[in-house]
């Protein structure tokens, strides 16, 4: 059975899903959703989303089993990932989306997020000095969930230097971003 993934491949959430499916060897088909035209807010799409979320919750256990569930680093991984993704989203909105929509960038917010990002990466540096991956010595969903935000921050947002300046974070990023599954997701974006 082929699973349909709805969304633009360049968006973070579909990237996480695709990376997970590729890691697990799940066959999938990408169905592009045009976010700029508001396709994702139309009634037919919203109904599909409710149904898919219900099925997705019921079938998420295999991914947790295959890519690791909870561990001693689990709470750090969840909170760190959430902070990193939020900071990445602020940058994405401020530097790319709002200007495209004709709105102004809040450079004060961008600067504030950059300072917070450095602090989050310092916590990651400390954690990664004790293990190869965020939640221990094996690649898990905790690492996979970071891939889209880290890619955006190190490329489009221009914060690659913040990663390269931190030996353990840089080693971790080079390791997880070199995984065959993530390379395939990047190839799908091209």
pLDDT in tens, 96-146: 878 888 889 999 999 998 999 999 999 999 999 999 999 999 999 999 999
pLDDT in tens, 50-78: 545 444 444 555 555 555 554 444 555 45
What's the pTM?
0.78
Spans of all domains in the chain? 3-66+183-189, 69-179
SS3 120: helix
The domain covering 3-66+183-189 belongs, at the CATH homologous superfamily level, to: Glutaredoxin (3.40.30.10)
Provide the CATH topology of domain 69-179: Glutathione S-transferase Yfyf (Class Pi); Chain A, domain 2 (1.20.1050)
pLDDT in tens, 7-30: 889 888 899 999 999 999 999 999
């Amino acid at each position: 059975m082929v699973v349909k993934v709805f969304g633009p491949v360049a968006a973070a959430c579909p990237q996480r899903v695709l990376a997970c499916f590729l890691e697990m060897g799940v066959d999938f088909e990408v169905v592009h959703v045009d976010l700029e035209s508001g396709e994702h807010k139309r009634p037919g799409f919203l109904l599909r989303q409710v149904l898919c979320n219900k099925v997705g919750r019921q079938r998420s256990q295999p991914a947790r089993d295959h890519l690791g569930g909870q561990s001693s680093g689990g709470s750090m991984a969840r909170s760190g990932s959430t902070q990193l993704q939020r900071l990445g989203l602020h940058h994405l909105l401020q530097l790319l989306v709002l200007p495209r929509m004709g709105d102004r960038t809040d450079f004060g917010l961008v600067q504030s997020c950059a300072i917070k990002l450095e602090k989050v990466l310092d916590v990651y540096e400390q954690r990664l000095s004790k293990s190869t991956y965020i939640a221990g010595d094996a690649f898990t969903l905790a690492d996979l969930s970071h891939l889209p935000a880290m890619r955006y921050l190190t490329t489009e947002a221009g914060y690659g230097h913040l990663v390269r300046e931190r030996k353990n974070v840089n080693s971790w990023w080079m390791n997880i971003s070199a995984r065959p599954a993530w390379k395939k997701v990047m190839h799908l974006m091209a």
